[in-house]
Every structure is written in C-alpha cells, then in structure tokens.
Structure 1
Amino acid sequence: MTRTDDISIKLETKMPGRKDSFIVLLGRFILLYWKTIILILWPIVLLPLVIINNEEMYKCLYVVTLMAMFWVTEVLPLPITGLIPIVLYPLMGILSTAKTADCYMNDTTMMFIGSLVIAVVIESSGLHMRVALLIIKLIGCSHRNLSLGLFSVTMFISMWISNTAATAMMIPIVDTVLLELETQGLGDRFIFDESSTEGEEEQGVERQKKPTHTTMVYYLSASYASSIGGIGTLVGTGTNLTFKGIYEERFPNSPGINFASWMLYTVPAMIVMGILTWLWLQIMYMGLFRPNSNDAKAIDIGKHGEKVAASVIDKKYKELGPVKWSEWIVGTLFITVVLLWFFRKPGFVKGWPSYITDLPVKDSTAAIGLTILLFIIPSRPDFLNAFNSDPDKRPTKSSPALITWKMIHEKMHWSLLFVLGGGFAIATGSSSSGLSKMLGNSLSGLKDYNAFTILVLVCLFAECVTELTANVAVANIILPVLAEMSRAVHLHPLYLMLPAAMCCSFSFHLPVGTPPNAIASAAGHIRTNDFIIAGIGPTIITLIVTVFSWNTWGVYVFDLYEYPSWAEPLNTTLTSSL
C-alpha cells in the first residue's frame, strides 16, 4: 500500500458519532465538482457585461471571456470550447451562423489538414525513423554525441510532424540504448530515491525510482528539442498556424505570412536556441566544463560503450530493411511540397504560381494537392510486374495507396481544427462587433512605452501562461489582443504577434505544460521539481534569443521599420518608426 492510499483511508475513516463540518464538506464538494461549478457560475458571473450594455462589442467580449476561462481551466475539452461561437454568435447577434462557420474552414485550416496528412504518411512509411537513425549514426555514439544527435534529429523532425509524434518516436530509441548500456554494466538508467525512510521500507512502501542525470538529459532532450523545433516551419506546431490564421483574418490587406520568410527568420533562431539548450543540459547534468565531476565520470563509457550504443543503433536501422518504394516516393513528394511552399512567394524571385495564374495562390493549394496524390500513388510497385513472364510475380490484387482514409481516421488529430476555428471566430467576431476598436482605444496609453520593453513583457507573459494551459489555447486568447495593441501603439502587427506566437510553444517547466513534457516525464520517471529546475535554462534562452533575434534579423526579414497603412481599421494612413 502506498502513502497516498494510507492517507485516503484515514480521510475516509469516520470516528463513531463524529460529523464532518460544513466547511470540510464544502471543500470536498468543490474539489470534486470544480469543473461543473465553473461551467455553471462563470457564464452567470459574466452576465453584467451584456445586461449593463447591450452593444455587440460587449456581447462579443462576453463570449471571448467565457471561452478564455474554459480554455485556461480546460473544464471542457479544448475543441468543444472552440465550437462555442457557432452557438452564441448567431443567438447574440454578433455574426450569422454562415459567417461564423466560415471561420472554421479557411486557407489556414486546409493547410493544417494537409500538413497532418503529410505527417501521417511520413510516420506510416517509416521515413522519419530511417532519417533519425542515419543522422545519429553519423554524429557518433558517445553519450555527448548521442545526446546531440538525439536533440538535432528530434528538432529537425519536429519541424515537419507534430511535436508529440516527434517525441514519441525518439523515446523508444532512448530506452533501447540506455537499457543495453545498463545491461553491459556501463551506467544505470535509474536509481532509487533515497528520501524514503527506513520505517516506510519496513511497512512495504515501494521506493520510488528516479532517473540519473545522464538519463534525464536524453528524455529532456527529446521533449525540449521537439518544442523548439516546432517553431521552424509554419506547419511545425498548431500555434504557428493559429498565428497565421488570426493575423491574416485580422489584417486581410496585409501581405500575409509565407513559408519562405517564416523559415528565413525562425530556422536561424531555432538553431541558436537548440545549441544553447543542449549546452545547458550538458553543463547541468553531463559535467561539461567540469571534467572531475561525478556527472562527467558517469558519461565516460569508453570505446566499448560507444560500440555498444552504435550496435544498438545499427541493429535498429537494419530492422527497417532496405529503403522501400513508399519511402522513396514519400521522401520525393515531401521535398517537392516543401519547395512549393518555399517558392510560392520567396521574395527574391517570382513565385511559381505567378507563371500559372494571376489569382492569389496560398500554401494550402500545394498541401492539398500533395494529399490527393498520396491517395493516388500506390504504396508498392506491384503494377510493374503486371505483364511479367513469370506468373508467380504478377500481382493478384492492386496495391493500396500511400495513404488510406482508415489511416487518416485513426491517426489524424482532427480536434485541433475546432480549436483553430474557435480562435479565428474570436478574431472575426471581435472585428465585426467593434470589440477590437474598443480594445485598441483602451490600450492607446501604451504609446508612451518603449517598443522593446513591450515586446519583452509580451514574450515573458506568453512563456509563463503557456506553462499552465494548452499552447494553442494561449495563442487564441492573446494574439487578437496583441493585434489591437499593435494598432494602439502604432507598431507593425507582426512585431508583437509573431514572437508571442513562438513563445506560446516554449513550455519547459511542467510535465503537464505540453504533451512532449508529459511523454518524457512518464517514460523517464522525471519528477516535477526536476522539470522545474531543468526548464530554467531553456526558458531564459528562448526568451533572450527570441527578443534579440527578432529585433535584429526578424525586423530585417519582415521589413518592420514602419507602421503599415493596411493595419489601420479606418481609411487613414499613419506611419510610425519602430
């Protein structure tokens, strides 16, 4: 029996004739039903917003505040909260049902669907695993090199598939390598927690195991690298696409966000963040620059240890077999769609759509075009033997396509579409109802503050809040506000919105902060206090790199030197230097 079980039994045991006080009963009731209490009371608490003033902007504020609380506390699943505007907007006279529903299926959501399909087919083909193992083999198999290879591979793969999938893919590789090294007597994966008392052991209380510092580096690397790598491309994580959708919805006359300019800024920043975060883990837990420390001695596995680790990686690679037809085709199509995204509107040359049509073409066209091809191209080249002279080699049935609807149904994260749609609905409703203008007027006093100071505070706020709730939910709440703040202080909207969107991905302190953290915590038995300490470095690194890289390289890439006329809601042209 564990200590928790023992405490629970004591709490539930009642002394004869003893009655719990009302305060105790009320406390238990609140702990059990706090979600239901918020669901019932919060809409009532907000009613004065619409009772005192019946204007559309206050009705919209009611819906936005309601959704913000539900998203932060997660009293309802995030996707279900995202659907609230479809019910309340028409009934409260903010937007019609048709206009509200349009927010849930636009260029950004179509691109998101296409990116999810690409991620699913890459995972199904095994291409990501082959690339990962090849890179790790090239970098080397000492503990330091192996952790660098793991970090680099996870960061790269997370640029193209979900952060959760990237982390989940790397954890089995880590487990296998560390287990084999432990079997060979080259280091322990876990140690027992010495904080348990002798009395507890005598009572049969199981001692908790905790990871060694070396083990922590591997699991934390998988988690942190996936979060950092997610900022590298527009399709890397949901917060990037949330930002793109809200920005283009709020500023329809802006040039928009294209794949090339995003990568041109984020990839250098991502690499710097990744290197510094890896160095932080090495210094903290692997004795870098401390050659005589216990941590440094623990990772010295010698040539024999490196051979053991290399043999594990080599064995896993051989298990994949020779490169399959599906891997070649998926790899070729993947490179093709990335090039189409990058060269749609690269800036330094004419984009490829301009040679085909005068109509505007967005990135979702290439994403959905690839998706259709994946349903057409067969996963095996059996058709090449259809006329073979040897009857045994002729196919007896047609090969399935590279991707099937069953695969999509089982592996696609459809729910995030409703979270994205809810954010876009907030942006549209705020603009239509006049809430945006009201917020802009109320924030006009911020003009007296330095732009750099505002940026630091916004990024710090985003990184802190995203530790407590879902990244996409945080982005949906703060980005519309930042859009109006930009108008109020006459800053280019991108100046605050894009770095804030990036910072929404940087959750490093809590296991529940983001799915990669939860996966690493469960697999590596990493305690919350260890996560809190380890996350100090990445939080400071990502904040500093984001702020300073944005104020230098980012301002240059996106040409943020002047306040654009298209940012104004009215037909006024205002320019203001950053």
Structure 2
Amino acid sequence: MRIQAKYILPILVPLVVLLLPASAFPFETLTVMQQRAIALFLLAALCWVLEPMPIYATSVVVIVLELLFLSDKGIIWFRADANTPEFGNLLHYTDIMSTFASPIIMLFLGGFFLAMAATKYRLDVNLARVLLKPFGQKPTMVMAGLMLITAVFSMFMSNTATTAMMLAILTPILAVFKPNDPGKIAFALSIPVAANIGGIGTPIGTPPNAIALKYLTGENMITFGEWMAFAVPFVVVMLLLAWVLLSVMFRSDEASISLDIKGKFLKTSKAYTVYATFTITVLLWLMGSSHGMNSYTVALIPVAVFSMTGIINKEDLKKISWDVLWLVSGGFALGLALDKTGLAQLLVHSIPFENYAPEIVLIGAAALCLLMANFMSHTATANLLMPIMAALGVSMTSLSPMGGETTLILVVTFAASLGMSLPISTPPNALAHATGHVTSNQMAKVGVIIGVVGVALSFVMVWILRLVNFL
C-alpha cells in the first residue's frame, strides 16, 4: 500500500485540486492560475517527500509544467481565457527558463569547480594533513581538529563530498579503537555533524543558503562577506557545542591515538594555479563589493581559469553535481510561480498572523522547517518554505522591529541546515550511518539536541545582530 501511495498520491492530489471549484478553497478570490499553482506546489511537495522519482527530476517536471500550463507560451488551450480577471496573470516563459541560469546557480557552479580542482590536485587532503598536526594525539583534540577542518571544507565544498573525503581519512583512525569503544561513535558522528553545521558558514556552503539569497534582495541584500560575518561565529559556537556534546556522550577509552595521513602538496604549474585561484576567489568573496564585483561574478572566475588551463576538462565536467543545480533551479521556478500568480501573498493574507506575537511566528516557522528538514531534503524543504516565508516577512508589519523578512528568512534557512536527526535527513548522515559505527538511535539523540539548540542560538544571533543594527 505504501509503494502504491508513493506513486498515486503525487498524481491524484494535484488532479483533485485542479478539478475542484474555486468556491471549495478557503479564499475569497482564487484565480485559475493560482489554482494551478496550488496543484503544482502539492505535486512538488509530495514528490520531494515520497520520492517516486529522483528529487532533481521533480524540479525538472515543475519547470516543464510551468512552461506548459502557466506561461504565455504554453499550450494554447490552457491559456485561451487569459484576458479575464478570473484567469489571472500568465508567467513570462523567459522568467521560468531563466531559473536554469540564475546568478545563484552560477555561484554554485563556481563552488563546484573550486571543489573539484581542490580534490583533483589533492589540496583538500594535504590541507587536512597540515591542519591536523597541531591537535596532537588526544582523542578529543583530534576530533576537534577533524570537526574544524570538515566545517571549513564544507563552507566551500559540497557537504556530501566533504563527508566522503573526511570519512576516508577517518578510517585508519577508527581502526585504532577497541571494538566497543564509544569513541568510535563520537568520531563517526563528528564528521556529518561538522559538515552540516559548516555548510551554514557561506552562501555556497549548502543549497538552502543560496535559496535564501534569492529572496534577500534590494534593501535586504546580504553580500558574501556579510553572510560570513554572522554565519561563521554561529558555526564556531555550534561546532564547540557539538564537540562538547559528542565528547561527553561518547567518551573514548583511549588515552591517545596515532594519526597518519600520507601525501604532499603538488608542485606542478597546474597545482599552483589551483592554489592561487582558490585563494584569490575566496579573498574576492570576503571583500564583498569593495572591488565592484558581486559574489556571482567572482564565482565565474575559477570556472574560466580552470576551463582555460585544462585543470577541469570535459571528463571532469561530467562529475559536477548537476542534479543539485537542477534541484535548486526547480525550487526557484516553484517560488516564481507562487510569487507571480499572487498565491504566496494570498496564503499569507488568509492566515491572521497579525493576531500572533512575532516571536511565536518566528518560532513556529523555524520549528516547522526543522521538522521537515529531518524527513526530507534540506534543499527541498527550503524550496517549499522560502517563497511563503518571504511573502510573510513582507506582509507582517509586527516583524519589522525584529528585522522583518530578513530575520524570518535567516532563521528558517539555518533551521533547514540543522535537520540532522536521521540517516535520511542528509547525505552526510547517510554516509556516516553506512560506516556501521553509528546507530539511528545514537544519531537521533545527537541530532535532536543540536537542532533544537541551533535554532535557539539562531534567535539569539538575530537578536544580537538587531542590537548592533546589522539587520
């Protein structure tokens, strides 16, 4: 029955929504376009949760359905009454297609090129080898070093790729422990926890950050450097709390462990090009717009340099996480439909949020996001919630003293990345669980504590930023 529901519900529910009369919905007015947008939203939500198809395929389907049924160049029979008020406004087909080439997509593409070049020329492993030396041989200190390096790499690389790399480095360390040593659990959990937390540190660290930037425009715009200015301290505090938690819950029986990571920095011309380009790109990102370029423009510099020099060739291009780019672009397209049809605003205005204290709204939004992120893709969660939260932030005047739209989006974004209670919550968790050293119950205990504490800390962080007039 569960297998059937996986395939039937994503088709049946949107069809029922489309066939219902407008009077069946709890809105004073509902246009045909808004009704179609509701059906599309439910289709995306059910497909992202139940996964009858790969989640990136859902994004592609969303974009194609928008072009067919919501755009001004869609099927002519489905836009015959486009000039009537009851029909609503059609979306321009170029706006839908441009989600494939959004500046945010270019930002991620630049990040992928940097990560691939760093791995190909062993910059990541060699940095790990050098950076772990100062941490000695005490288990808790070695774990602190591993978490710190994992978090830093996750700021600029895929969380999944970082976890896979660091777990490979961790394998000989785990072999030192006795079979029933709780330290094994701590070390195995430390990598995914640090990767999930570290991804919050930069706009390219994880897709929910990039999705948030899509809605932080105009007066609410946040540069790469500004994001890091408030996100990195949050990451540092969360890493410290996670390290203490793991050290206390799973204390190792070993007094010391040996660490042996073999390798050396390559000294070829291409390797030096990778080192220089990586450094220059990160510095340009940190400098914000002081040089006249935004982070999206800077992101294409490594793409050009690595392509021109052959550092990244056509075979390497096949290894880029194109599924992530498709997934994010589909989320943008869904947000576009909710926004341009007026459905997001209609949903927000239909709920009396003004009757609730702004603190309750913020806590409720963060709790909902955290809950969803534990059971489905963090990116899919952000894709579904962000358009609605953006509309809510604009419409709810009582949120203005607390930062309005910016505060709401940031709190929800951080909550999306803190969902790490289950092996299915995020790929790094799944990789750690696959090692066989961590049970789902152990992961859940740590994940719930970090998630709840992290959301609470994000509220404190936002309050401090408002206090110093940063937001």
Q: Same fold (TM over 0.5)?
A: yes
Change in Cα spacing, 1:54 to 1:458, as seen in structure 2 (3 Å) is closer
User: How far off its partner does 1:255 sit?
Assistant: 5.0
The answer to whether residue 102 in structure 2 is matched with residue 124 in structure 1 is no
Aligned to 1:198: none
The answer to whether residue 410 in structure 2 is matched with residue 498 in structure 1 is yes
Counterpart of 2:409, as a letter, is M
* Cα distance in 2, alignment partners of residues 217 and 324 from structure 1: 38
* Counterpart secondary structure, 1:221: helix
User: How far off its partner does 1:78 sit?
Assistant: 1.2
Task: Give ranges in structure 2 of 5+ residues lacking alignment.
Answer: 24-29, 71-89
Counterpart of 2:287, as a letter, is F
Counterpart of 2:151, as a letter, is M
Counterpart pick for 2:389 among 479, 482, 485:
482
In the alignment, is the contact (CA less than 8 A) between 2:373 and 2:381 conserved in 1? yes
In the alignment, is the contact (CA less than 8 A) between 1:261 and 1:558 conserved in 2? no
In the alignment, is the contact (CA less than 8 A) between 1:139 and 1:145 conserved in 2? yes
User: How far off its partner does 1:321 sit?
Assistant: 6.0
Counterpart pick for 1:77 among 49, 54, 73:
54
Aligned ranges 1:110-509 → 2 under 5 Å = 110-179=106-175, 181=176, 187-188=177-178, 190-191=179-180, 212-245=181-214, 247-248=215-216, 253-286=218-251, 295=252, 298-301=253-256, 306=257, 309-310=258-259, 312-313=260-261, 316=262, 319-320=263-264, 323-345=267-289, 351-353=290-292, 361-377=293-309, 401-409=310-318, 411-443=319-351, 445-490=352-397, 491=399, 492-509=404-421
* Counterpart secondary structure, 1:412: coil
Structure 1 residues 445-501: Cα deviation after superposition (integer angstroms, max 9, x where no partner): 212322223222222221111010000000000111111111231232111011211
Change in Cα spacing, 1:172 to 1:85, as seen in structure 2 (3 Å) is closer
Structure 1 residues 180-205: Cα deviation after superposition (integer angstroms, max 9, x where no partner): x2xxxxx41x34xxxxxxxxxxxxxx
User: How far off its partner does 1:523 sit?
Assistant: 1.2
Counterpart pick for 1:539 among 438, 451, 464:
451
Aligned to 2:83: none
User: How far off its partner does 1:322 sit?
Assistant: 5.5
Structure 1 residues 410-430: Cα deviation after superposition (integer angstroms, max 9, x where no partner): x21001122111111122222
User: How far off its partner does 1:299 sit?
Assistant: 2.5
Structure 1 residues 117-145: Cα deviation after superposition (integer angstroms, max 9, x where no partner): 11111111110111111111111121111
Counterpart of 1:157, as a letter, is F
User: How far off its partner does 1:555 sit?
Assistant: 6.1
In the alignment, is the contact (CA less than 8 A) between 1:221 and 1:278 conserved in 2? yes
* Cα distance in 2, alignment partners of residues 327 and 145 from structure 1: 31
Task: Determine what percentage of the aligned residue pairs are the same residue.
Answer: 26
In the alignment, is the contact (CA less than 8 A) between 2:123 and 2:265 conserved in 1? no
When Rg is computed on C-alpha atoms for both structures, the one with the higher figure is: 1
Counterpart pick for 1:65 among 29, 32, 42:
42
Structure 1 residues 144-202: Cα deviation after superposition (integer angstroms, max 9, x where no partner): 111111111111111110100111111122111222x2xxxxx41x34xxxxxxxxxxx
Aligned ranges 1:1-20 → 2 under 5 Å = none
User: How far off its partner does 1:502 sit?
Assistant: 1.6
In the alignment, is the contact (CA less than 8 A) between 1:244 and 1:257 conserved in 2? yes
User: How far off its partner does 1:556 sit?
Assistant: 3.7
Change in Cα spacing, 1:254 to 1:369, as seen in structure 2 (3 Å) is same
In the alignment, is the contact (CA less than 8 A) between 1:72 and 1:474 conserved in 2? no
* Cα distance in 2, alignment partners of residues 540 and 344 from structure 1: 32
In the alignment, is the contact (CA less than 8 A) between 1:337 and 1:367 conserved in 2? yes
Counterpart of 1:332, as a letter, is A
Aligned to 2:93: 97
* Cα distance in 1, alignment partners of residues 324 and 99 from structure 2: 14
In the alignment, is the contact (CA less than 8 A) between 1:216 and 1:524 conserved in 2? no
Query: What is the CA RMSD across the aligned residues, in angstroms?
Result: 2.0
* Counterpart secondary structure, 1:228: helix
* Counterpart secondary structure, 2:200: coil
Q: How many residues are aligned here?
A: 441
Aligned to 1:55: 32
Which structure has greater helix proportion? 2
Please say which of residues 538-547 and 162-171 is displaced more in the overlay: 538-547
* Cα distance in 1, alignment partners of residues 311 and 222 from structure 2: 30
Counterpart of 1:46, as a letter, is V
* Cα distance in 2, alignment partners of residues 453 and 220 from structure 1: 32
* Counterpart secondary structure, 1:83: helix
In the alignment, is the contact (CA less than 8 A) between 1:139 and 1:149 conserved in 2? yes
In the alignment, is the contact (CA less than 8 A) between 2:339 and 2:387 conserved in 1? no
* Cα distance in 1, alignment partners of residues 102 and 407 from structure 2: 24
Change in Cα spacing, 1:327 to 1:499, as seen in structure 2 (3 Å) is farther
Change in Cα spacing, 1:320 to 1:483, as seen in structure 2 (3 Å) is same
Counterpart of 1:463, as a letter, is L
